[in-house]
Amino acid sequence: MNVVSEFENLIKLLVLGDVSVGKSNFLFRFIEDKFLDNHLPTVGFDYKSQIITLPDKSVVKLQIWDTVGEEKFMSINQSLLAKVHGVILIYDITDQTSFE
C-alpha cells in the first residue's frame, strides 16, 4: 500500500511559543512518548508526523511543525502559518512573559 492511500486527510499543525518553553519536548513526547532531558534548540523548524484514527473511524495524518521561538525567525513562522489547519501555543507556566 502506498503512503498516500494510508490516510484520508493531512492535517498540518504549527507549534508556537517563546524560546525554551518546551515546544520540541511537547512534540517529541506526543509522537515518540519520550521526554528528552538534554535537547538542542531547534534551528529554523522541524516537523514530525503520525497517522491517527479519529473517533469517527477516519484516518488522518498529523503533520506537526516545531518552530524556533526567536524573533528573528518570525518570517519563517509566518510563511508556515499560511498553510496550517491549527496552532498549538506553548508557554512556560513558571514564566509569565512567555505567556504574554
Q: Tens digits of per-residue pLDDT, 35-91?
A: 777 766 665 567 788 898 999 999 999 888 887 655 555 555 566 667 789 988 889
pLDDT at 71: 54
Which residues fall within 8 angstroms of residue 25, CB to CB, at 6 or more apart?
A: 35, 36, 39
Q: Report pTM.
A: 0.69
Q: Name the maximum alpha-carbon separation found in the chain.
A: 48
Residue 60, classified by CB atoms within 10 Å of its CB into exposed (0-12), middle (13-18) or buried (19+), is middle
Whole-number Å distance between alpha carbons of 38 and 1: 37
pLDDT at 56: 92
Does the pLDDT at position 95 exceed 80?
Answer: yes
pLDDT at 60: 92
pLDDT at 44: 59
Taking CA atoms, 65 is separated from 57, 86, 96, 97, in Å, by 24, 11, 24, 23
